[in-house]
Structure 1
Amino acid sequence: MEQETIVKVCLLAGKIMLQSGAETYRVEDTMVRIAQAFKMQNAQAYATPTAIMFAVDMTASSNFVRIDERATDLHKVAEVNSISRYISTGELSLIEARDQLLNIDQQQNSFSVWLQLLAAAFASGCFTIMFQGSWHDFIPAMIVGGSAFCLMIYFHKLLKIRFFAEFLAAVFLAFTAFLMVVINLGLDIDKIIIGSVMPLVPGLLITNAVRDLMAGHLVSGMTKGIEAILTAFAIGAGVAIVLLLVY
């Protein structure tokens, strides 16, 4: 029963981290460290962006967990890392670690949707200024960027396919930026679009892909890299279609 609990704790820690946007090599390292802290010295872990396999020994049966939903919640990743360190130093028992991981798994997003929308809107305005846009475009970029980010969240829940959600959000973004210029609320459509599109850019995916490749995890690195390329293509295609139609 203790070995089964150790396996469940390791898989739960890996699942939380992978669902929250952690790199696969970090997920594997954390699971192995937790197992070794509980005297499972030959533990084996293998993670991809969509699945985790774990065994307490090289010849033991493997345990499998599928990852269907992935998001960005680095607060959960940090919490699981902290629990892993406490386990390694002997400050947490197996049962205490399991209970804390279950609490983390049941937590909602660290930031509410409204706070995410406000952050996306403010970031859009700031990126517009950073890319040498005028202050006259700051407020239009905030409106366009916040609205597009909101629609991306809605479309993602509705369609369950991130590519189409980001494509439709980019279409709305470009068309709204065009309207802002037409009604003289904005001056430069290019700067508004560039600033507003930044919250949709898959920055974490690109970073994780590079880090996984550098760590030797070629399958995960290439998978995340292709996902980032598809996301960038969806955003670019959505903006390009609108600009081709209106100009």
Structure 2
Amino acid sequence: MKVDQQERFDLVYDIGETLLKNGAEVKRVESTITHIAQAFGLENFDSYVSIHGIFLTSHPNAKNVHAKVRDTPISPISLGRIDAINTLSRHITEGKIGPTEARKQLTIIQQESFSSVPLKFVVYMFGSASFCYIFSGTLADACGALILGMILASYSLFIVPKLKLSQIIAYVTSSFLIFLQSFDDTRVCQ
């Protein structure tokens, strides 16, 4: 099935946007989409990538101009997703896959979860304990932080998604929860 110029242009944009959303460097995003555009044969292709968005244009002929600009919100970094898209872009530029297959693979990459809930749970717990110990906490303090990390992980991974809270409200309520759990009258009075 032949993919038209507009669909290839949209695919290049979606690849760049996915890279940018997941924390790729601006220069890396621009380089990747330029190479993919060349591999797809997009004519008179120009791109500009900033921290918050991608601006693309293509002039396949005198009549048609393809342009796309969209704000890209800041989101959590996913190095696994960036690596998967870099592999996809290498396969595209080497001619191993075409636009149709690339679109399918991009959709899979965008939906894939690169970390499991149990792993996140463990990271919350041991991250809390480690930072406590690094910043002059005792072993007992680190054990308490481990428990607080477990409470925070439970709240953040299981309760917040069910309540469908906005990210700022989730951060504020998480901070308040830890404040309540770690509140110690003896330290406040000293």
Normalization by structure 2: what TM-score?
Answer: 0.77
> Counterpart in 2 of 1:158?
164
Amino acid at match of 1:132: S
Amino acid at match of 2:24: A
Query: 1:5 maps to which residue?
Result: 7
Matches of 1:2 and 1:116, distance apart in 2: 42
The runs of 5 or more residues in structure 1 that have no matched partner are 183-188, 190-242
Q: Deviations over 1:187-219 (max 9, x none)?
A: xx7xxxxxxxxxxxxxxxxxxxxxxxxxxxxxx
Counterpart pick for 1:31 among 30, 33, 46: 33
Partner of 2:101: 96
Structure 2 counterpart of 1:83, from 84, 88, 112? 88
Alpha-carbon distance in 2 for matches of 1:141, 1:82: 39
Instruction: Tell me the amino acid that sits aligned with residue 124 of structure 2.
Output: A
Which structure dedicates a bigger proportion of its chain to helix?
A: 1
Structure 1 runs (4+) greater than 6 angstroms displaced: none
Structure with greater contact order relative to length (CA < 8 Å, sep ≥ 6): 1
Q: Which runs of 5+ in 2 are unaligned?
A: none
Which one of 38, 44, 47 corresponds to residue 46 of structure 2? 44
* TM-score (normalizing by structure 1): 0.62
RMSD over aligned CA atoms reads 3.1
Decide which structure has the larger Cα Rg and report it: 2
Match of residue 15 from structure 1: 17
Q: Distance in 2 between matches of 1:120 and 1:41?
A: 48
Match of 1:106? 111
Deviations 1:6-58 (A, max 9, x none): 11221221232233233333323222221022233642233455543322249
Matched ranges for 1:141-152 at <5 A: 141-152=145-156
Report the count of equivalent residues: 183
Identity %: 25
Contact persistence 2:6–2:66 (CA under 8 A): no
> Alignment partner of 1:159: what SS?
coil
